Structure 1
Amino acid sequence: MKKYSCILFILFLSCKEEKKVKNNGFNLKNSDEIYRKVSKIPDNQLTKIDVPEFIDLDTIEGDSKKIDITIKNKGQRSLTSLIVKPPCSCNEVSKYDSIMLPNQSQTISVNMKFEKLGNFYQGISIYGSFYPYIKKVYIEGYRRK
């Protein structure tokens, strides 16, 4: 019984979603809070972004993998309030600029953790002043070892 209690406690701590996103004051657990903030941006201030919809990692070994996501502001307005939210706070996101000028690109690295063996399918949420305020990048693959 103690063994299972310890395992549950460690799992609880490893994926506790209480981290803050930069200094924006957003709790990663509350995606609705982030969406409510960015959805208040007027339509005439929105831009367009280009991000991949899917990233196929094929077969990986090990419990983590660094993933690079390139975001391009392809609209005519500046992108403001860019927020990248991984599926779990145990995943690390590199520093990135929350403001992007038109036609500017940046690559954001996410160190993804995969605890279970087998197939995985996880989504990284991207919020900001672009239409439709939120986009998802889905990471899929198979963890062998």
Structure 2
Amino acid sequence: MTLPAVPMSVTPESPPAEPPARPGPADAALRIGGGVVSVWAGLLAAVLNLLFATWAWEVVKGRPAGLSKTVVGTSLAVGGIAAVVVLTVLVAWFAHAAVGTRWAVALPAVPWFVVIAAGSFKTAEGDLVLTGDNLLGLGMILAGAITFAVLGFRQIVVPPTAS
């Protein structure tokens, strides 16, 4: 009894692919440098958020002549909160791209939270950046915190892509 032959490919087999090379010291240095830049970007983003929130709230309280408080407040709130979300996404994206790990979003997020929290405490001279009546500042804090949380959660939950 004869069994039918199994069809076989006549193309030669390709040699096995070489494993990817281990990252060298230059790659590690770039990743560390990207992490440092990410931390500084988080600090800068928080300072800019606090400065804008304080300035915008002063503009709303002492609105320019001829403009209603509602128009000025609404436009500054929408623009400020949108700017916080966009800036937060850009900083978190840069951290992930520069460091290349899932937890990289924490590099700009932690200093951002520290600076924002420090802005809510009085200094020895009695200065206070974020007051309790500054609704724009509170909205910007909420928007930034939610954006960092969503981006961090997304990095942790989404499986890594095969390269």
What interval of TM-score do these two structures reach, taking the shorter chain for normalisation? 0.3 to 0.5
**Larger % of helix: which?**
2
TM-score (norm 1): 0.36
TM-score (norm 2): 0.33
**Larger % of strand: which?**
1
**Higher radius of gyration, 1 or 2:** 2
